A and B are shown apart, each in its own frame.
Chain A
Amino acid sequence: MKSSLADLPLGQAAEIVSIDCDRVISRRLMEMGLLPGTKVRVVRVAPLGDPIELHVRDYALSVRRAEAARIAVAPGRAA
C-alpha cells in the first residue's frame, strides 16, 4: 500500500510521489512547489485534528487531511 501525506507521522521526512487532487487544487499545490520528488515533512496538526501543516521548500503550508490523503509519499531520507 502506498502511504499518503495524511498518514505520515509527525516530523518524519518523506518524498512526494504523486498528487491526485482535483486539477485546480493539484495545479495550485504544484505551483507552490509540491512536485514529485519534493521533500516534505508534516510539522504540526491543528488543535482540532485538521488541517495539517507541512514544511516544504523552506516554507510552511497548511492543507486539509482530505487533500493530504491524495498526495502519495515515499519515506525519504532525513531532510
Chain B
Amino acid sequence: MNLGATTPEILIAGNPNSGKSTLFNALSGGSARVGNYPGVTVDRTTATVRLGAQQVELVDVPGMYSLTANSPEEQLAVDALVADETRAVICVVDATTLQRGLYLALQLLESGVPVVIALNMMDAAERMGLQIDTDLLSELFGAPVVPVVATKRQGLDALLKAVEDQLGLATPVDAPSVSYPAALEADLSELVPLIERWRPGAPSEQTRAVALWSLLSLGEDSLWGVRDSIRTAVRKLRSAATAQGRNPDLEIIATRYAWIEEQLSRASSKPDPKPNASERIDSVLTHPVFGLLVFAIVMFLIFEALFAWAEPAIGAIEDFTAFLQRQVAAALPDGVLQDLLVQGIIAGVGNVIVFAPQILILFLFIGFLEDSGYLARVAFVIDRVMKGVGLHGKAFVPLLSGFACAIPAVMATRTIERRRDRLVTMLALPLMSCSARLPVYILVVGTVFAGATLWWFSAGAVALFAMYTLSVVVTLTAAAVIRRTILPGPAPTFVLEMPPYRWPSAQILWINAWRRLRIFLVDAGTIILAMTVLLWALLSFPKSDDVAARFDQERATVVQADLPPKEEARVVAALNAREASEQLEQSVAGRFGHAIEPVLRPIGFDWQIGVGIIGAFAAREVFISTLGIVFGIGEADEENKPLRQALREARHSDGTPVMTPLSGVSLMVFFLLACQCMSTIAVVRRESGSWKWPAFLFAYMTVLAYTGSFLVYQGGRLLGFE
C-alpha cells in the first residue's frame, strides 16, 4: 500500500458535550470543510493543519459514548479508526465526567492506534475541587494526557506537540491490557482467527479490539460489510453464553469500567458532591410551573424570530431580486434570453437566497440552545408529549419551526440523533402550515368569505384557525403512521445526557450557523435553481406565434389611435397581461392544466387553478402571481382586488362559479396538505441523502392533499354546501 499518497489523518473523538467541536474549531481556526461520509448522511468536517514539518488532516468524528455500533452511522467511527490514513486519535475527555469519557478513551487505546487524551474543561474540574494527576494518569493509560481548556484555547500547543510526538514514534507506547473474565477471553480467542482471515495483516491489538467490538456490536444490528462467518460465530458464542447465564455485554463493559475506576482511584480525587450551578439552574428551568413557562417563552422567541426578525431581511432580498430583474430586463432586448435570465436564473438564485435569513436565525438559536445545554432540557420537558406519536423529544423544535418554513425546519432535524427518528420527523413536518401558505389562504378567504360570518366570528378567521389546527393534527398523525408503516422499528428511546449549563461562544455559534447555510446554498441551492429554470421553461414554452402576432397587431392599432400617453400605457399594459395569459395557456404547463382538468373537477378546481398549482411548485405563494398571469391581470398579490374579482367571476364550462366557499375550503386544504414546494424537496434530498425520501414525501403528500380536498368538496356537496 502506498502510504505516501494520502495526507495523514488525525481523528478528534469524544463524548457529546465534551467540547470536542470547540477543540476542533480552536485547532483548525475555523478553516474547516464539510463533506459527507460515503453512504450515510453524516457531515464529515475536516481541516488541514500544520503539525511541525508536515500537513495533517484533522477529522471531527461525530460525538459518541463508545465505539460500539448498531447502525451504519455509528459504524463510521470504527471505520475511520481502522482506516489506513488514520495515524492518531485525539480523545477529548470532559474532566468533570472522567469515568465516562475515559471509557471511550480505553476503547480507542485497546485498538492499538496512538491516542492522545485531551483532558478538557480542566477549569471546571478545578472549581469542583477535583484533582487529577495527569502524569500518573498518562502512565497508567499508556498515552499522553494533556490538560486543556478548549474555550480559552489553553493547552493547545502542548496538545499538538503530544500528537506530533506520537506520529514520530516507531512503535506506539504500550496500550493498557485489560484482562477480561476467563470465559470471555475464551470467546475472544475463538473470534480472533476468523478476524485475522477477514482483515489479514492487521496488528494484533487491532484484531483483538475488532473481536471485542464484534462481540459487543453484532446481533440486531444494521451494520455494513461484516463477514457472515463472524456474524455466525458471534451468534453462537452469544447463545452459548446466555445458556450458561453469562452476559458478554456486561462482562466487557463492567470489566472496562472496573479497570478505569481502579486507575482513577490512584490518579484523581473524588469530586465535591455539593450541588453545582447547573442543578440550581435546573430547579427553575425544569420546574413544573416555571419550567413550562420558560419553555413556552423560549419557543415563542424562536417562533417570533423566524417570523418577524427574518422578515426585513427576506423583504430586502426579494426587493433586491426584483431590482436586479428590472435592471436586466431593461438592459437586454426582449426575448428568450432575457426571460431565461430574469424569470429563470435570477428568480432561481433569489429563491435560494431568500431562505438564508431564516436558516441563519434558526441555527443560531439551535446552536445557542444546544451549546448552552438547554436543548436537552427542551427535549426533557416535552418528551412526554412527543412520545405519544412516536417521536423523540428533540423533534419538537424542528416541528415548531415548520410553522415558519419547512426548509430550516428540515435542516434542524439533524439535532435528532438516530436516523430513523430524524426521517420520521423530516417526512411529517412539511405538513405544518408554513408561512408561505398564508398568502394563499388569505387570497382564498378574501375571495370566497369576504364579509361572511359564522355565528359571531368572521368566516375567514374560522377557516384560517381550522387550517392551523388541521395542520397540527395531520402532522402528528402522519408521524405516527409513518413510524408504524414506512419506518417501523422500536420507538425512539430517550437516553439523553443533561449536560451542565455553559455559556456558548458567539464565534462558534456563528461558524456553525454559517457552515449550515453554506451547505444549504451549495447542495440544496443547486437543485432549487435548476428546478426554477425548469419550471420557467414549462410555463413559457412553446410560445404561440399566432398569439404573438395577434397582440402585436392590436398594440399597433392602439399606438395608431393617438390616445393620451397615460391612457395608451394603460391599454398596452392590459394587452400585455392578456397576451401573457394566452401564451401561458399555450405553454406545457397550460396544456397540462387543461389535460388534468377532469381530475381537478371532483375537488372543485378548474384548469386555471391547475396552472396556478403547477406554478406554485416554485414556492406556494407563487400560486398567486401565477393566477395573476392566468387571469390576465399582471402582477398580483394576495390583497389584489382585480384578482379576487376575476376569481369570483370565473366559471366552469357549465356556467357554475369556480370559486365557491366549498371549493375555496377545498383549495385551502389542498395547499395545506400538498408538497407544493420544490425547496422542501431539495432540502429533504440533501438531508436524507437520497432521492427516495423526497419522492416518497411528494407522493404521499399529493395523495393526501387530493384525498383531503376530495372529501371536503364531495362531502360538502352531499351535505348541501356549495
Contact = CB atoms under 8 A, between A and B. Distances in A.
A7 interface: no
Nearest to A38: B257
A27 B254 contact: no
A51 B380 contact: yes
A27 B97 contact: no
Contact of B249 (A23, A43, A51, A57): A23
Nearest to A37: B254
Contact of A62 (B250, B253, B278, B496): B496
A53 B495 contact: no
Nearest to A48: B384
Nearest to A18: B250
Contacts of B97: 57-59
B103 A33 contact: yes
Given A36-B254, A59-B497, 7 more contacts: A28-B493, A30-B254, A47-B287, A60-B279, A62-B497, A63-B495, A64-B494
B568 interface: no
Given A35-B250, A47-B286, A67 B493 contact: yes
7 contacts: A48-B382, A49-B384, A50-B384, A57-B99, A60-B500, A61-B496, A61-B498
Given A62-B380, A63-B494, A44 B100 contact: no
Interface in B78-97: 96-97
Contact of B70 (A24, A35, A58, A67): A24
Classify chain A: how many residues form its interface, as a range: 20 to 34
A48 B253 contact: no
B219 interface: yes
B385 interface: yes
Given A24-B220, A31-B103, A47 B65 contact: no
Interface string A1-41: 00000000000000000000011111111111101100000
Interface string B271-311: 10100001100110011110110000000000000000000
Contacts of B136: none
A60 B383 contact: no
Given A47-B288, A47-B291, A67 B495 contact: yes
Interface string B203-243: 00000000000001001100000000000000000000000
A64 B31 CA distance: 40
Interface string B9-52: 00000000000000000000000000000000000000000000
Interface of A: 22-33, 35-36, 43-44, 46-51, 53, 57-64, 67, 79
Is the contact region of chain A dominated by helix, strand, or loop, or is it mixed?
Answer: mixed
B517 to A, nearest CB: 31
B515 interface: no
Interface string B375-411: 0100011111101000000000000000000000000
Contacts, number: 115
Given A47-B287, A63-B495, A35 B383 contact: no
A62 B494 contact: yes
Given A33-B103, A58-B99, A59-B100, A51 B497 contact: no
B63 to A, nearest CB: 13
A27 B68 contact: yes
B178 to A, nearest CB: 15
Interface string B127-168: 000000000000000000000000000000000000000000
B314 interface: no
Contact of A27 (B216, B283, B490, B499): B216
A46 B286 contact: yes
A23 B257 contact: no
Contacts of B99: 33, 57-58
Interface string B338-373: 000000000000000000000000000000000000
Contacts of A67: 493-495
Contacts of B96: 58-59
Contacts of B98: 58
Contacts of A50: 383-384, 387
B495 A25 contact: yes
Nearest to B254: A35
A53 B286 contact: yes
A22 B249 CA distance: 12
B66 interface: yes
A34 to B, nearest CB: 9
Most chain B Cβ neighbours within 10 Å, of A24, A29, A36: A24
A27 B291 CA distance: 31
A25 B68 CA distance: 12
Contacts of A53: 282, 286, 380, 498
A63 to B, nearest CB: 6
B493 A31 contact: no
Contacts of A23: 219-220, 249
A65 to B, nearest CB: 10
Contacts of A49: 384
Given A47-B286, A51-B383, A79-B273, A64 B249 contact: no
A52 to B, nearest CB: 9
- Can you list the 9 inter-chain pairs with the closest CB atoms, starting with the nearest? A48-B384, A60-B498, A31-B66, A59-B97, A30-B253, A47-B288, A47-B291, A64-B494, A50-B384
A53 to B, nearest CB: 6
Contact of B279 (A33, A43, A48, A58): A43
Nearest to B498: A60
B257 A64 contact: no
